[in-house]
Amino acid sequence: MIDINLTKTLQGPDGKMMLAVEAHINQGDLVVIYGPSGAGKTSILRMLAGLLQPESGKIAVNNVCWFDSEKNIHLKPQQRKVGFVWQDYALFPNMTVKENLQYALPRSQPAHILTELIDIIELNRLQDRMPQSLSGGQQQRVALARALVRSPEVLLLDEPLSALDEGMRVKMQDFLLKVHHQYGLTTILVTHDMAEIFKLAKKIFLLHNGKIFKQGAPHEVFTHQDISGKYRITGTVLKIDANDVVYVVSVLIGSQIIKVIATAEERKGLKTGDKVLIISKAFNPIIMKINN
């Protein structure tokens, strides 16, 4: 169980921004913090880990106070039982996979957890390799295992999968779920990926400009505005061609160009470079599974 109530002035992309969050996270839940870049997501994780000092507020984990500005309590990162996984893995380049895990092992703790973790991340054959020689997904599995060696009370994941390609990301999501089920750790994940949120999160906190403006189960939070029977896609007009009675408008969406038929009425006021909204009904699109 985590109770946080924090404030901190951050230097955001648009000048100073006040981060003020209050949240309650149940024991064993996997929650997601979601929001635009610069909303303060990473700062929340860093304050929980003790790497960034809040200006005021409290952090209590399983009824132990980690930070309290009034009582002047600020536990060092070493004293907090936190597992942290970075986007850039942060594996020690001077140690092999196994040594990275061994380094994390406190002297008082038996070593069998190392073999257990290496089994779980399925890197038995690679345990004597240097981290640089592994793929991104493999490195992130090592980083995840290393974060678990000390049996932390909280697992913090800062966009751990965003540097991986699509296929690897899906695999890693399965790993995260497996690890989560095995150890039942209270986990906070920062991510931009909608699929990840729906697959992993029990609860989601929507962060905007340093405030939590919505929270709940993913389908509750996103259902009302973003998910409906209509598809709304934004794009940019590249070209408008006249074609007898109708117009063909080429629109750039992401990195794809699609053609949309427009009537003379709709074409009015459209010019190249305009931002447009394309709406389609739910019974129109064809859905197909992509085989990797």
Partner 1 sequence: MIDWSPILLTFKLALITTVMLVIIGIPLAYGLAFSKFKIKPVIETLVSMPLVLPPTVLGFYLLIAFSPNSGLGRWLSEWFGFELVFSFEGLVVASVIYSLPFMVHPIQSGLANVPQSLKEASQLLGKSDITTLVRVLLPNIKPALLTGVVLSFAHTIGEFGVVLMIGGNIPHETRVASIAIYDEVEALNYDSANTYSLILFAVTFIILLAVFLVNNGRLNKKWL
Give the interface with partner 1 as residue ranges (CB under 8 A). Answer: 49, 51, 76-78, 80, 82-84, 86, 88, 90, 92-94, 103-104, 106, 146, 149-150
Nearer to partner 1, 95 or 170 (CB): 95
Asked if 123 and 141 touch (Cβ cutoff 8 Å), the reply is yes
Asked if 192 and 35 touch (Cβ cutoff 8 Å), the reply is no
The closest of 96, 116, 165, 118 to 137, measured between CA atoms, is 165
Assign residue 5 a region (left: φ > 0; alpha: ψ between -120 and 50; beta: otherwise): beta
Cα 110 from Cα 255, distance rounded (Å): 51
Nearer to partner 1, 93 or 229 (CB): 93
Report, in Å, the least distance between residue 130 CB and partner 1. 12
Cα 187 from Cα 195, distance rounded (Å): 17
Nearer to partner 1, 54 or 235 (CB): 54
Nearer to partner 1, 5 or 102 (CB): 102
3-state secondary structure of 281: strand
Report, in Å, the least distance between residue 216 CB and partner 1. 30
Report, in Å, the least distance between residue 82 CB and partner 1. 6
Report, in Å, the least distance between residue 53 CB and partner 1. 13
Q: What is the dihedral of CA 175, 189, 195, 254, to 10 degrees?
A: -120
Report, in Å, the least distance between residue 66 CB and partner 1. 13
3-state secondary structure of 108: coil
Q: Which amino acid is at 205?
A: F
Nearer to partner 1, 67 or 86 (CB): 86
Nearer to partner 1, 146 or 203 (CB): 146
Report, in Å, the least distance between residue 157 CB and partner 1. 13
- DSSP alpha helix (H) spans, 126-262: 136-148, 166-183, 194-200, 218-226
The position carrying tokens 């629109």 is 251
Nearer to partner 1, 45 or 237 (CB): 45
Q: For residue 79, what are its two tokens?
A: 């004293």
Cross-strand bridge partners of residue 233 = 278
Cα 79 from Cα 168, distance rounded (Å): 34
Report, in Å, the least distance between residue 105 CB and partner 1. 9
